[in-house]
Structure 1
Amino acid sequence: MPLILVNDRFCAVTEYARQDVLGHNCRFLQPPGGAGPVRQRLRQFLGDQNAGNARFVIPNQTREGEPFLNLLFMAKIRSPNSSTLILGSQFAVGTGRERAASYQQALGEDLQCLSAVLKDADWMLLGSMETIANTVALLVRHQAEDWS
């Protein structure tokens, strides 16, 4: 599944320019040797027509080879003609209040962008907003751990 749109934050985290990633599958972010067992879970999610959304933690690396853990939120979006797109929102997992706050801001920006794209079309988000809420809760817990 190739990338068809990326935001500025994706480019900042991965150190790749838009023109270098559009049209490519995200596997280019995986380190040599791949992402490990999480790949099977990703494939199961993508292959399950009833799955609406999911979260994954994936080992990735930047363009310069710097490793980072990627908290990936994926949600399926379907059109009336049954075409399906995948919203992928990723967050470089780290520590610190600023990092957790940036996760929340980035997810909010992604959801605003998604709303703008879907508002004039007859597309629907599969699954529930509960997963989105759970993702935000996870990020808040991560932030709270950093405060203690």
Structure 2
Amino acid sequence: MTLELPERLSKYLRKSHIALALSDTSQDAPLVLVNKAFCDLTGYTEDEVLNRNCRFLQGENTTEEMRAPLHDFVHGKGPDAGRFPILNYRKDGTPFHNYVYMSRLRDSDDEVKFILASQFDMTSALQRSTISANDEKLRHALSDLEQISREYGLAMMGSAKLLADSVAMMAQLSLTEK
């Protein structure tokens, strides 16, 4: 059963200029929310990606070595937040080096309900050099998210420190009952 996100939080994720995707962990991690920035990055529309696992972005040159850490993360192995480089493909077949930031979202019973992911195209040297600027944008977005989340009884744990240290995009978001 999918846990509903507060409307204001969903709206915030949708309007963010950072490519964001939210997966439900109750099945094969199908996407339940993507924003315009995600669609712009991948070339897919929201209708084309919802209820699908993000594996559809992988292609012929995406190696098992790249896939394994994401698979392990989705299946609960390792820390609750991390960064994962992977070769993905846009709808038109163009490859891009995606740096995926993922965080498990837990409910009040400490059960993982969602995985929040942010995608960053680091294909060109210019884009790779802007990771710090991207982290700064994420830090500001997390600050806004934390404010919104508090209004709905949600809590974010340690995300600013992880971002500042470039260890992970987010730490843990605990979802509590309304």
Alignment TM-score, normalising by the size of structure 2: 0.62
Listed one character per residue, the Cα deviations across residues 68-106 of structure 1 (whole Å, up to 9, x for unaligned) are: 000000011111132421110010112226972773476
CA contact (8 A) 2:135 2:164 kept: no
Structure 1 residue 58 corresponds to structure 2 residue 86: yes
Which 10-residue stretch deviates more, 6-15 or 42-51? 42-51
Alignment TM-score, normalising by the size of structure 1: 0.73
Q: Structure 1 residue 11: deviation in Å?
A: 0.8
Q: CA RMSD in A?
A: 3.1
- Segments of 5+ residues of structure 2 without an aligned counterpart are 1-28, 169-178
Paired residues in the alignment total: 137
CA contact (8 A) 1:11 1:17 kept: yes
Q: Structure 1 residue 127: deviation in Å?
A: 6.5
CA contact (8 A) 1:3 1:26 kept: yes
Q: Specify the alignment match of 2:38 in structure 1.
A: 10
Q: Specify the alignment match of 2:70 in structure 1.
A: 42
Q: Structure 1 residue 121: deviation in Å?
A: 3.2
Following the alignment from structure 1 to structure 2, what is the Cα–Cα distance between the partners of residues 109 and 29?
28
Would you tell me which structure has more strand in proportion to its own residues? Answer: 2
Calculate percent identity across the aligned residue pairs.
Answer: 31
Residue from 49, 53, 58 that aligns with 1:30: 58
Say which SS state the counterpart of residue 5 (structure 1) adopts.
strand
